[in-house]
Amino acid sequence: MRSNKRSHTRKARRKRVVPLEKIPTNRIRFVFLILCFSLFGLGGRLAWLQVLQASALEARARSSQVQLTKPLGIRRSIVDRKGRLLALDEERYRLWVHPRYFNFPGDDPELIRKPIDVARKLSGLIAMPMSEIIERVGNRPSGIKLVEDLDTDTASQIKQLGISGLDLELYPQRIYPQGSLFGNVVGFLNDDRIPQAGLEQSRNRELIRHEQPRSLRRGADGTPLPDDLAPGVLYGDDLRLELTLDARLQELAIKSLTDEVKRWNAAKGVAIVMNALTGELLALASTPTYNPNEYWKFPPSRFREWSVQDLYEPGSTFKPINLALALQEGVINKDGKIDDTGSIKVGGWPIHNHDRAANGLIDYPKILQVSSNVAMVKTMSRLDPSIYWDWLKKLGLDIQPNTDLPGAVAGQLKRKSEFVSHSIEPATASFGQGFSLTPLKLAQLHALIANGGYLVSPHITRGLGGGYSLLSVPKEEKVQLLDEEVTFIVRQWMESVVEKGSGKALKTPGYRIGGKTGTAQKASNGSYKPGAKICSFVATFPIDSPKYVVLVVIDEPQGVNAYGSTVALPVAKEIIDGLLVIEKIPPSTKRTEFQPAQG
């Protein structure tokens, strides 16, 4: 029975097997054609993408793989001679808000938060009341500048909030850490970052960093890929504009000058400290000045540096220069004397000493000690007016000085025909009137006396520096205008002013200092302004090895006792005392006879 059942099962299985049938030829051809057309279409598509669309697709790929960073436009810093920052760019942020996108982390993507929700989180970070934030947002849906001048830390805290609809815009902000201390020199940028004054304007090209857009490829995981980098793309421009000025001396000078201008209720004042050997300025202080961080709070007249842009008659501080010219031409000798009669008439014009006193027969050191106008007129009358004018021309009184100080102007000198034909012109020029110059020019001429007769170019920049020097002040060939012995003699005479004359208050134990006071009438619109004075003092030291010139000029001090010795000299005294410490100047040596410089 069991064998019959098994046999029956096998037969049933054989009946379920479907016999193979022959596939129609047309069907095979149809499938083959479909496959061929598919392969042909795929090949065509590949050819289209790889040949015709290759450049466009590559560009799209590059754009998604390459991170392009544009330069922020940061300017180079400005530093003093010791590397103290005077001007620099810092990163700042503007906060833009877009209320239609307000959404907090974890919110439903479709949820739009109300401005009050965002204001509640922002008010503590940007120091702005919630009510003001809401008021500024108003009903506008987007593009609202809420606040600017945010520092990096505050911007980072805002980013950490993760609030959609807040956009931080990075921009550079020019900062002047020393405030008004160097405002007259450095200048400032306006809100559009356009230079408006000072070195920011005159040295604008050197202060612009040499930067280029930076592109960097990244892998799928964000890893930077160092291939295809443009040459110099990773170069960091860390150069700075280095000045010759010293912030310590500048601070001392501006404080002393400001106190004295206030004390005498003067219009303005300037103090200049120059290295007579190189022309470097260690201090250039003016008052009143301004704070470049808040330039909009000050009148535009403050933006001018009057020590290089305003002209004045130097008065008695020019007398040592005149005596040097007379010595150089041999019309006087160091042991000569002049009869000071107290008054004299020249071309019908009366000329008096400042005190109208006659000093009798006096030598040249005494002329400077008492600042005799009459003796100077008689001295310079020995010099032919034509030669005298030629010397004033050679000194460059009417030529714009070769300097890097912005806005420097030339002085004014009468035409030679007028100077020679009118005897009053050389007479008034002998005591420093009838022509005009800038305080900077006068400092340059006294450096000529200090350094042995060389006319150096006053400057405040050393050049661009960082790890190495890139741009420096070009070295000029020194041209000697006066004999070294002539300048030596004049310095001895100037020293006598401090030892015995109107500069006694400048005496400093252990140091030999020369000086000259000046109290001149102030010219205005072709005539002298009644009662207006310009008081000044110039010092050269150390006399045994001259290196520094200090000039102080104060315009229109008020009071009957306003003179160079009472108004300007105290400022020069404080500056010199500070300079002795800052530059570590050793005490002077004993007096020596003239010895020519070696080489």
Does the pLDDT at position 227 exceed 70? no
Where is average pLDDT lowest: 38-42, 170-174, 589-593? 589-593
CATH homologous superfamily of 73-105+113-134+141-208+232-243 equals Penicillin-binding protein 2a (Domain 2) (3.90.1310.10)
pLDDT tens-digit map of 420-457: 999 999 999 999 999 999 999 999 999 999 999 999 99
Residues 125, 207: contact at Cβ < 8 Å?
A: no
**Taking residues 480-488, what's their average pLDDT?**
94
Residues 404, 377: contact at Cβ < 8 Å?
A: no
Q: What is the pTM of this model?
A: 0.82
Residue 308: burial class (beta carbons within 10 Å; 0-12, 13-18, 19+): buried
Whether the ω angle into residue 570 lies within 30 degrees of 0, i.e. cis, is no
Closest CA to 550 of 525, 521, 527, 579: 579
Does the pLDDT at position 46 exceed 70? yes
**Taking residues 189-196, what's their average pLDDT?**
90
From the list 180, 256, 286, 316, the catalytic residue is 316
- Of residues 44 and 511, the one with the higher pLDDT is 511
Does the pLDDT at position 232 exceed 60? no
3-state helix, strand, coil in the chain (%, to 5): 40, 25, 35
**Taking residues 147-157, what's their average pLDDT?**
89
**Taking residues 480-490, what's their average pLDDT?**
94
Does the pLDDT at position 470 exceed 50? no
Where is average pLDDT lowest: 161-170, 213-222, 343-352, 487-496? 213-222
Residues 329, 383: contact at Cβ < 8 Å?
A: yes
Residues 496, 461: contact at Cβ < 8 Å?
A: no
Helices 385-394 and 319-328 meet at what angle, rounded to 10?
110
Does the pLDDT at position 548 exceed 70? yes
Residue 384, Cα to own-chain centre: how many angstroms?
44
What is the DSSP code string of 151-169? -HHHHHHHHHH--BTEEEE
**Taking residues 394-407, what's their average pLDDT?**
90
Residue spans in the chain of domains classed CATH 3.40.710.10: 247-290+303-461+475-582
Distance in angstroms (rounded) separating the CA atoms of residues 277 and 419: 32
- Total residues found in the chain within this entry: 599
Q: What mean pLDDT value characterizes the chain? A: 86
Distances (CA, A) of 514 to 332, 370, 505, 544: 21, 14, 12, 10
Distance in angstroms (rounded) separating the CA atoms of residues 141 and 102: 10
pLDDT tens-digit map of 550-577: 999 999 999 889 999 999 999 999 999 9
What pLDDT, on the 0 to 100 scale, is given for residue 377? 96
What pLDDT, on the 0 to 100 scale, is given for residue 219? 64
Closest CA to 322 of 168, 184, 165, 448: 448
Distance in angstroms (rounded) separating the CA atoms of residues 449 and 514: 11
What pLDDT, on the 0 to 100 scale, is given for residue 599? 44
Where is average pLDDT lowest: 123-132, 196-205, 403-412, 483-492? 123-132
Q: Which residues pair with 469 in a beta bridge?
A: 465
Closest CA to 536 of 575, 562, 497, 512: 562
Residues 501, 369: contact at Cβ < 8 Å?
A: yes
Whether the ω angle into residue 542 lies within 30 degrees of 0, i.e. cis, is yes
Q: Please, what sign has the CA dihedral across residues 132, 135, 140, 141?
A: positive
Q: What is the DSSP letter of 107?
A: S
The residue to which tokens 């306003």 are assigned? 562
pLDDT tens-digit map of 50-77: 777 777 776 776 666 666 566 677 899 9
Does the pLDDT at position 239 exceed 60? yes
**Taking residues 161-176, what's their average pLDDT?**
90
Closest CA to 333 of 496, 486, 494: 486
Does the pLDDT at position 467 exceed 60? no
Closest CA to 427 of 480, 461, 485, 377: 377
Residues 526, 546: contact at Cβ < 8 Å?
A: no
Residues 535, 562: contact at Cβ < 8 Å?
A: yes
Q: State whether residue 567 is helix, strand or coil.
A: helix
**Taking residues 72-90, what's their average pLDDT?**
91
Residue 57, Cα to own-chain centre: how many angstroms?
50
Does the pLDDT at position 598 exceed 90? no
pLDDT tens-digit map of 294-341: 999 999 989 988 899 999 999 999 999 999 999 999 999 999 999 999
Residues 370, 362: contact at Cβ < 8 Å?
A: yes
Question: Could you tell me what percent of the chain has a pLDDT over 70?
Answer: 86
The residue to which tokens 């500024």 are assigned? 136
Other Cβ atoms less than 10 A from the Cβ of 597: the count is 7
Q: Where are the beta strands (DSSP E) in 355-404?
A: 360-363
What CATH number has the domain spanning 247-290+303-461+475-582? 3.40.710.10
What pLDDT, on the 0 to 100 scale, is given for residue 496? 95
**Taking residues 30-42, what's their average pLDDT?**
83
- Of residues 370 and 62, the one with the higher pLDDT is 370
Residue 316 annotated in active site: yes
What pLDDT, on the 0 to 100 scale, is given for residue 489? 95
Residue spans in the chain of domains classed CATH 3.90.1310.10: 73-105+113-134+141-208+232-243
Distance in angstroms (rounded) separating the CA atoms of residues 285 and 252: 9
Residues 373, 429: contact at Cβ < 8 Å?
A: no
Residues 258, 290: contact at Cβ < 8 Å?
A: no
Longest CA–CA separation in the chain, Å: 171
**Taking residues 348-356, what's their average pLDDT?**
90
Distance in angstroms (rounded) separating the CA atoms of residues 83 and 573: 27
Q: Show the tokens assigned to 551.
A: 């000039």
* End-to-end CA gap in the chain: 142
Distance in angstroms (rounded) separating the CA atoms of residues 393 and 385: 12
**Taking residues 184-212, what's their average pLDDT?**
88
